[in-house]
Structure 1
Amino acid sequence: MPDRREATLLEDLPEEIIDKILKGLPPKDVGRCRAVSTLWRSITSIPEFMLEHHRRQPLLPIIDGLGRPASFVLFRGAGADTSNQQLWPFIPGLRHYHLKPTLSVTCDGFLILLEQNKFYIYNPVLHKRALLPYPQAGENECSNIIGFYRHQLTGEYRLLWTTFRPLSVVKYSLYILTVGSGVPRHIRIRMPTVLSPSAEHKLLGALCYSNYCPPPVHLGGSLHWCPFSVCGVADITGGSRDIVVFDTKAESFRWMRSPDQAYPNRKLFDMNGTLGFWGSSIKGDAGGCLSFTALDIWVMQDYKAEIWAFKYRIDLSTVEASRQLYLTSCKGKKKAPLRSTVQWFNDMAVLNEHELLIMFNDKHVLRCNTDGMVLGLVNIGKSQYCMSLTSHRFQESIIPIPSFP
């Protein structure tokens, strides 16, 4: 026991208490602690510690500045004590936005990025990356990674990888690649209802193209995709179910029902640990132009019974009127933050129970509350004039990348 006349040092505390204190530190501070004490390094290097520490980190939206001047950025908030964090690209001094990596999927603090036709796994906290082995593809075949998960039984990180030939009769193949292994495993889509080869081909095609299918939402040990209606996935099940679910434990697929109301533009998202769904309504103007003028937010009320509950609606006219009031209150500033009117919605991300981000007009992002009142304008870099709100969410991690043989 330490002398009561002296100050109690951190090393004098029980190891369980030290463990709890270290789990509450930000990832960068944990890294600094590893260099201070052999005990601290030992505690923070245990896989269970690293995974639990990761789960305590906030789930943050990623904004893509398209390389002009910022690229992938974590949005941490708008308070005086918060700052957005750049997720650095691989190439030092990268300046041309068309050469920057493309973000495919995320999981447990890892990013999977496509750079110059090569896939990398990258941990921004540790500044470490590794090249992923390419599946054995035939001549003129392309590939895409559609899912990323931690296998519950083995603790391995695995990728769902598709290959296809775009210039001939399109043929899709599906692989599972364990990160750290150089041998992808070819699989077929196993579902409760047997799929014909044409139906399986149609489903893989819908999941393969990111323009028509946003990245999956990982909740409850499963990956969830919601392809856009143009993909025709609902035709496979007769329209009864149109959300594709992949059980990461059994590594099998199944269907799930979306809200009954039809939306031409829709996405799934993580609403504070619950499966969320937003759909946008279309309105035509006098010139025949169509635009998304409202966002309906739904939340999964009963996962097993597949029951959705309507949460709230964000209307374009409300957001635009609030934006005008916000700009009026900023008249004392040298420059108006934004002069472009809100003409249509593009995307949305939930920050917490009361706030969300809304992307509009292809290049601006607003921070709003759930009533559609503007709380601020998002700026992720100096002279930032173009940005995209991605469908990816990210939790920082000190988990090392599994090594390849």
Structure 2
Amino acid sequence: MRISLPWDVDVYATMGRHRTSEAEEIPSEMLQEILMKLPTKDVARCCRVSRQWRSAVRDPSFRKLHAASHAALSAESELLRVSNIGEVGHIGSSERTGVFSVSSGKAMCSVTIPHGYGLANICNGLLCFVDRDHNAQAPAVVCNPASGETLALPEAPPLSNEDDDYLFALGFSPPTDEYKLFRLSFPPYSYSSEERVDMDVYTLGDARGWRKDSFLSPSRPATKDYTLAPVLIDGKLHVVTRGWNQFARHEAAGGVLVLDVPAETSRTYPLPDNLGTYPYDNPLAFELKGRLCLAAHVLSGGRPKALRFWVMDNKETDDEKEPHWDLRYSFFVEAEHSFDISRPWSAWFEHETLCYTRSNTLHKYDTRLSIPDHSQLLKWNKQLQQTTVSRKWRWVIHQGYRPTLLSPHVFELSSSSQDETMMDICS
């Protein structure tokens, strides 16, 4: 929703350092009420209008309220490219990670994180970095790429079994306006049909610290693939899972684990029948118009023959109901060589367009042009050759980013230090 302002923001901002007179100033409460209805990027630009507007946007209380507003949460998601932009360090050292907007190609910020950290997932406008492989207790680092602000969260508790695998995910609870960090820990393999998964939860800013729970699961979260970040949709985290057996690292995808962030409960849903993927290739999960979508290759003779997009409809959440999977799109995939599992690939939905990238080619399909016909494979509308990224750079494209004014420092447990560390998002 866009509303008319007393002045055109961009035009007024180009007028230099001219200040409005006191008679022209809007009462601060009214100004913030107006700004609350604007998208995040427009609010940030309003900093250039005048000192009064700048002060209104900088107010920590306003930033927190706007982050939870309909204008911020309903914004269309954007794509980010997260890259390691320095030489890989040694254990105990730090690395610089760059966050880039895919649509503009511009760098948003550069974050210094400890060696071995990687992006766990994106939650609204916050990025969560965690130690992916070495230390399950290491404090997670939350970052707002729009402002460059970061905050290290409290250490997680020790694992019940030091040999367990683990997965972190940051979630948001719309009813309570709370951010929660989940850590799932579980055996690396098992001969049982189901195993217990420990779930440690920390509500950001809560002085009570971490709390522990557990649940039985028929499959284990996939942890080693950087492209399989948990997907947050409508207050629920969605995690692709794999089987429990002793060859778990080569087991075909097992299901979708759904964590209800407000209730802190879990359910595991089966994957679509005839998904088409094979043991070494996980389906990719992302949001498509408010629903979970899985992209999965179909192979023939060791080569990809097609790429299918399945959409999950789980409005029926009774114990007797299972989600319905709708095969929405199926594309022909041209491959001259054997399918190389070591090469990264990704898929996403943006501006009514399905996108798929593998190696250095970006494929696009405008979903408004035709109605899918599952009796034949679709062809991509457009193919673009992308610039090859240096192998020294570790990079992944992530979906689901929605710009926010929220400062991570509002979650600091020491309230006396919040004002001192609050950075200016308008600088």
- TM-score norm. by structure 2 comes to 0.65
Residue equivalent to 1:83: 105
Q: CA RMSD in A?
A: 4.3
> What is the SS of the residue equivalent to 1:188?
strand
Cα separation, partners in 2 of 1:272 and 1:380, compared to 1, 3 Å: farther
The letter for the 1-side match of 2:365 is: N
Aligned to 1:331: none
Residue in 1 that maps onto 2:358: 360
CA contact (8 A) 1:137 1:163 kept: no
Report the CA distance shift for 1:10/1:184 in structure 2 as closer, same or farther (over 3 A).
same
Aligned ranges for residues 41-80 of structure 1 at < 5 Å?
A: 41=58, 45=62, 47-52=64-69, 53-67=71-85, 72-77=98-103
Q: Which residue of the partner structure matches residue 192 of structure 2? A: none
Q: Secondary structure at the match of 1:215?
A: coil
- CA gap 1:278/1:143 in 2 versus in 1, 3 angstroms: closer
Contact conserved, 2:130 with 2:168, CA < 8 A, in 1? no
The aligned counterpart of 1:326 is none
Cα gap change, 1:251 to 1:129, in 2 (>3 Å) = same
Structure-1 residue corresponding to 2:16:
none
Classify 1:231/1:88 alpha carbon distance in 2 versus 1 (closer, same or farther; 3 Å). Answer: farther
State the SS of the aligned residue for 1:225: strand
Does 2:296 align with 1:282? no
What's the secondary structure of 2:351's corresponding residue?
Answer: coil
Task: State the 1:269 CA deviation.
Answer: 1.2
Q: Distance in 2 between matches of 1:231 and 1:40?
A: 50
| CA 1:102–1:386: 2 relative to 1, 3 Å | closer
1:350 is aligned to: 349
Q: Distance in 2 between matches of 1:137 and 1:108?
A: 28
2:149 matches 1:128: yes
Kept in 1, the 8 Å contact 2:198–2:212? The answer is yes
Instruction: Give matches, 1:103-114, under 5 Å.
Output: 103-114=119-130
Unpaired runs of 5+ residues, structure 1, are: 190-194, 285-289, 321-339
Offset at 1:105?
A: 1.6
The answer to whether the aligner puts 1:404 opposite 2:413 as a matched pair is: yes
**Equivalent pair of 2:303/2:337 in contact (CA under 8 Å):** no
Is the 2:284–2:296 contact (alpha carbons within 8 Å) kept by the matching residues of 1?
yes
Q: Is the 8 A contact 1:141 1:163 kept in 2?
A: no
133-142 vs 294-303, which deviates more?
A: 133-142
Displacement of 1:135 in angstroms is 2.1
The match for 2:365 among 360, 364, 369 is 369
Match of 1:336 in 2: none
- For residues 77-135 of structure 1, the C-alpha deviation after alignment (integer angstroms, 9 at most, x for no partner) is 3xxxx3343442216xx9xxxx4741112212111113685421111122211112222
Q: Is the 8 A contact 1:369 1:375 kept in 2?
A: no
TM-score, structure 1 as length reference: 0.68
User: Would you say the 8 A contact 1:217–1:268 is kept in 2?
Assistant: yes
Does structure 1 retain, via aligned residues, the 8 Å contact 2:80–2:399?
yes
Letter in 1 for 2:269: M
Alignment: residue pair count: 342
Q: Which moved more, 1:156-165 or 1:262-271?
A: 156-165
CA distance in 1, matches of 2:351, 2:284: 18
Tell me the alpha carbon deviations over residues 323-361 of structure 1, each in whole angstroms, 9 at most, x when there is no partner: xxxxxxxxxxxxxxxxx98966833122231241x2324
Q: Which runs of 5+ in 2 are unaligned?
A: 1-5, 7-19, 88-95, 190-194, 367-378, 415-427
Q: Of 197, 200, 211, which residue of structure 2 is paired with 1:175?
A: 200
Letter in 1 for 2:265: S
